[in-house]
Homo-oligomer: A and B are copies of this chain.
Amino acid sequence: MRPTVHDIAAAAGVSLATVDRVLNQRPGVRHVTREKVEKAIREIGYVRDVAAANLAKGRTYSFVFILPASDNSFMHGLNGEVRVAIARSSVERTNIRTIEVPAFDPRALVQILDELGDERPSGIALVATDAPEVRDAVDRLVQDGIPVVTLVSDLTGSQRHHYAGVDNIAAGRTAARLLGRFLGGARGEIAVLAGSMLVRDHRERLEGFAAVMAAEFPSLSILPVIEGRDDPEVAHMLVADALSRKSGIIGVYSLGAGNRGLIRALKEKAVDRSLTVIAHELTAHTRAALLDGTIDAILNQDAGHEVRSAIRVLKAKADGLAVIEAQERIRLDIFLKDNLP
């Protein structure tokens, strides 16, 4: 049987009330007594029954998800997953709400974060814009004792408790190796389509991609990055243009969102050429393109996993519990046409 507060009291030779004072850091306990109780807790291996505690407290966790107001497929999906979590939230004693902030706008983000500092929710998850003032705002929250996790995009050097997202450098490296191996030693040029180099995940993916390309596939040269702003129209125009001008292109790496334009350009311009294409984010469009052979591989992060992981971690932090690291690691999914979910 699992030890209870009564067992602590008996073991430490004190009353239940004193145990309670120690457990919940209430005042009015002499130092020696406190230590006696803490020793007993350690010795009998007591672990608070979180379910019973939450029941007694009538606690509901209030979590806030701060998401950028960009309307690409991935962010839509992420938004949807948060809504799914909200639908389930009454059952899980959580109260989740979302706040939309303009994308790539550090000041707006900082303002929201500062406001939340007063409100003191049980936890905050945010898609971080990587800027020093955002880092400072997050650090203030953490210092205030509010659990904070970054979602999808991390925050350099901040004290956030956890990052629920993939390793984007590794993602870029993986894309490079897949592309390089698929091209099997051929010589040619690689077009890279990004959303914006101002976004940290995109920068990191490119960094990893370029590193492996340079080191291991010297016969392939990377063309200057095309910034499509995650906008299908812009991407379509720029990619179509590049394909017309450069006949040496034999591969494409699309590391951002807004692949709809890319796919359209590929279908128009590359029917005659055999391009090898690696793209990020599994959506209805990229899935179809993978199946019909326009895209050769898709790298993906599972938004549902990221959201659920963020919630689990926030809960654990709010309860002062440890997280299972291996469980919370967000994996990079590699999809070929054969292993689509």
CB-defined interface of A166-177 with B at 8 Å, one 1/0 digit per residue? 010011011011
- Bound-state Cα–Cα, A339 to B54, Å: 39
Indicate if the CB atoms of B304 and A177 lie closer than 8 Å: no
Q: Is A229 interfacial (CB 8 A cutoff)?
A: no
Indicate if the CB atoms of B341 and A327 lie closer than 8 Å: no
A interface bracket (residues with beta carbon within 8 Å of B): 35 or more
- Bound-state Cα–Cα, A207 to B334, Å: 21
Q: Is A17 interfacial (CB 8 A cutoff)?
A: no
- Bound-state Cα–Cα, A178 to B176, Å: 15
The stretch among A117-125, A180-188, A192-200 that forms the contact with chain B is A180-188
For A91, A176, A331, A339, the residue with the greatest tally of chain B CB atoms inside 10 Å of its CB is A339
Indicate if the CB atoms of A333 and B331 lie closer than 8 Å: yes
Indicate if the CB atoms of A51 and B47 lie closer than 8 Å: no
Residues of chain B within 8 A (CB-CB) of A47 are: 90-91
From B51, B331, B337, give the contact of A55 (CB < 8 A). Answer: B51
Indicate if the CB atoms of B329 and A173 lie closer than 8 Å: no
Q: Is A52 interfacial (CB 8 A cutoff)?
A: yes
Q: Is A271 interfacial (CB 8 A cutoff)?
A: no
Q: Is A36 interfacial (CB 8 A cutoff)?
A: no
- Bound-state Cα–Cα, A47 to B171, Å: 41
For the complex formed, measure the closest distance between the CB of A24 and the CB atoms of chain B, giving whole angstroms.
Answer: 19
Indicate if the CB atoms of A304 and B326 lie closer than 8 Å: yes
Given the known A-B contacts A90-B47, A184-B184, are A338 and B177 also in contact in the complex, defined by CB atoms under 8 Å?
Answer: yes
Given the known A-B contacts A51-B54, A51-B55, A182-B184, are A334 and B334 also in contact in the complex, defined by CB atoms under 8 Å?
Answer: yes
For the complex formed, measure the closest distance between the CB of A62 and the CB atoms of chain B, giving whole angstroms.
Answer: 14
Q: Is A305 interfacial (CB 8 A cutoff)?
A: yes
Q: Is A204 interfacial (CB 8 A cutoff)?
A: no
Q: Which of A313-341 contact B (CB under 8 A)?
A: 324, 326-327, 329, 331-334, 336-339, 341
CB-defined interface of A146-163 with B at 8 Å, one 1/0 digit per residue? 000000000000000000
Residues of chain B within 8 A (CB-CB) of A54 are: 51
Q: Is A212 interfacial (CB 8 A cutoff)?
A: yes
Q: Is A106 interfacial (CB 8 A cutoff)?
A: no
Given the known A-B contacts A90-B2, A182-B181, are A332 and B339 also in contact in the complex, defined by CB atoms under 8 Å?
Answer: yes
Interface residues of A (CB under 8 A from B): 2, 47, 49, 51-52, 54-55, 90-91, 167, 170-171, 173-174, 176-178, 181-185, 208, 212, 296, 304-305, 308, 324, 326-327, 329, 331-334, 336-339, 341
